[in-house]
Each structure stands twice: as structure tokens, then as C-alpha cells.
Amino acid sequence: MAYSEKVMDHFMNPRNVGEIENANAVGQVGNAKCGDIMKMYMDIEDGVIKDVKFKTFGCGAAIATSSMATEMVKGKTVEEALKLTNKAVMEALDGLPPEKIHCSVLAEEAIHSALEDYNSRQSEENRIKLG
């Protein structure tokens, strides 16, 4: 199966690549299958993701899904972002070849990892319930 035009677009011109200085949510995850690594940075204010950036040592599908995932969580609340699944990201990209599905999981996990980090920096009563 070939890559969709949207996957190619996000792979060739990934959105939100980089780092956020003073990010208050930072997550890093690795894919045991291929050894690829992804780091996610967020600037969260009043429970809303104002900015998000990512860096990855990963394949094209990982880059495309992270790019799309960051676009999808930007401007969302932490609770909304937690509900974003790799399936929704793949659908937004018009699908991925079956052997590349595990790559999209990296993006979802990186978001969750960053939000867990954010949570751990909050006082007890301000913590969000992470599913």
C-alpha cells in the first residue's frame, strides 16, 4: 500500500518540529520494535495546550503522524488531548499501511507522556485524571 497524499505532505513538510524552551510538559517515548524515539514539548496555560512541538529520530510514518497529532492537539484542553487516539490521527491522514500502524502509536504515547509530565508538576488538587 502506498502512502496517502496527506502522509506525504506531513512527512515532507512536518508541522511543529522543534523544541519549546521552558515547556511545562515534556515527554519522551521509544518504540521497542524499531528503536525510534520521539520527544514532545508543550506549553500549557490554564489547562489549554498553547503550543506543541516535537522532535523524532523516527521513520516517515512517525514524522507524519506526529506532525498531524500536534496539529490536532494544539489549542485543545488537556482533557481533549488525552482522548486523541492514534486511530483518529491515522484517519486524519487518510490511513497508513498496516505495517506502519505501530509508528502512529508513538505519537499518541508521546502526547500522553508529555501530559503525564505536566500532571506531575501540578499540585494534588489540580491534577487531571489520566485514564
Which residues are marked as active site?
34, 103
- What end-to-end distance do the CA atoms of the chain give, in Å? 34
Contact 86/65 with Cβ under 8 angstroms? yes
Enumerate the β-bridge partners of residue 122: none
Tell me which H or E stretch contains 5: helix 5-12
Q: Based on the shown chain and the rule CB under 6 A, indicate whether residue 59 belongs to the binding site for ligand FES.
A: yes
Applying CB under 6 A, which part among 6-14, 54-62, 72-80, 123-131 lies near ligand FES? 54-62
Please pick, from the candidates 7, 10, 31, 68, the single residue that binds ligand FES as defined by CB under 6 A: 31
Q: Smallest distance, Å, CB 47 to ligand FES?
A: 30
The answer to the question of residue 103 lying near ligand FES (CB under 6 A) is yes
